A = this chain, B = another copy of it.
Amino acid sequence: MTTPPLPEESSVEELADLVRTGQFPAFVDRARELEPADLADVLATLDEEERVEAVRALPPALSGEALVEMAAEEHAGDTLAALDTERAAEIVEELEDDDAADLLGELEPEAQRRILAGLEDRAEVERLLRYDEESAGGLMTSHLIKVRDSATVAQALDEIRRQSDDVEDFYQIFVVDPNNVLVGTLPLKGLVTSAPARPVREFLEETEFSVRPELDQEAVARLMAKYNLASLPVVDVGGRLLGRVTFDDVTDVAEEEATEDLLRFGGVSGEEELSDDWRLAVKSRLPWLLINLLTAFAAKAVIDHQQSVVVRLPLIAAWLGVVAGMGGNAGTQALAVTVRRLALGHVAPGDARRIIGKELLVGLLNGIANGAVVAFVGLATVGGTPMLGLVVGLAMIGNLIVAGVSGALIPLVLHRVRVDPAIASSIFVTTFTDVFGFGLVLLLARVLLLS
């Protein structure tokens, strides 16, 4: 117990092997000892066919929780859809309503309808399925503990006992009026320290935070993280209590967002990418590459236009890549910092000028340092001259300034016009640094070396 029970990769493989070799009774015995999240790891390493067999062998409650713990890209929905309707419905019925809705939300409409039709009690899940799965309504569960504002401590404790069979964890006890309008929460401390006849109204705490079901999950996650909330009530436009979102619902949201941001920054769209599916990979990467190819032609046009410089001075060709490439690197640095600041909401409207000013200065200083190195190399290596050193040194300084300014300016502008800066910035920045890098080297070479 004193060492963290992080999943042993060996035991994940062992259990997977039991499935692969058809030893289902042994597999189920071992699976019973696992946390759902660990069993999910086992299911994720199996291929689709094996996973369906494993789920058939497991008790519905066990397999359901494990399927819920699987990440979206690990095809829990496909597995559920591959089961016969009766078994799939049994599994869904064992789940909490929000988990059931999440799992069913991953299915194709037809499979979803089929399994929903097999459920004994489907009203609640159907209601949750109506919310966008990336909204507060999509995250929330309607299982919660609530007491009436007219209750006494003794009545409230009775209610809690009664309702807590249905509710796995409760972080807040909600107090509602006769119309189910949320009026506050009960501090547990007050509840265990008060006389049984005391009305709960006397010590209820006003709810400071609540959200509407339409609120985007990213905003929900940010709100809960900022104010350290374990549980957040979701209310309709009339203030009536619909459900609650708990901290564990948004942990996954933060992880998804971080994945999305890093992939977008790397030029990959879509969250489906963290899989072994090459079709998805081509689909999510090729469009971006083709757009990049267009901009690469724009940069190529700069060189074509100055073809005569290359003809008269062939050794300049090798310098083009150095100056343009370094601009791309410096631009990416400025971009990463600015994109992350925007994502964290650290940029106030008045900050833009200061941020760009900083990047201009940083670009100048890094440009001088790198420019000095390339100037020296341009002067000292085979075929080099002091004038060549000056050309590449100045071009480097100029391009690193362009890199810094565009790396900050472009995401700021995109953010202002409500385009996600992570997705579109890098293409603009590297186009700028390529075009300016090539252009500066060739222009300076023409003026200083060839005239």
Contact = CB atoms under 8 A, between A and B. Distances in A.
Given A354-B276, A370-B290, A336 B251 contact: no
A160 to B, nearest CB: 6
Interface string A224-266: 1111101000010101000000011001101101110111011
Contact of A317 (B1, B278, B317): B317
A203 interface: no
Interface residue range, chain A = 35 or more
Contacts of A324: 321
B330 A289 contact: yes
A67 to B, nearest CB: 15
B4 A223 contact: yes
A438 B274 contact: no
A140 interface: no
Contacts of A288: 329, 333
Given A282-B362, A344-B274, A373 B262 contact: no
Contacts of A206: 1
Interface stretch (A113-121, A123-131, A188-196): A188-196
The secondary structure that dominates the A interface is helix
Contacts of A83: none
Nearest to A269: B333
A379 interface: no
Contacts of A286: 365-366, 369
Interface in A90-137: none
Contact of A2 (B37, B212, B263, B274): B212
Interface in A177-203: 182, 188-189, 191-193
A336 B262 contact: yes
A75 interface: no
- Name the 8 nearest CB pairs between A and B, nearest first: A266-B336, A228-B248, A303-B318, A258-B258, A317-B317, A300-B318, A310-B314, A225-B251
15 contacts: A1-B206, A4-B212, A225-B248, A255-B344, A262-B262, A265-B265, A265-B266, A267-B332, A278-B358, A278-B365, A286-B369, A290-B373, A292-B325, A314-B317, A325-B434
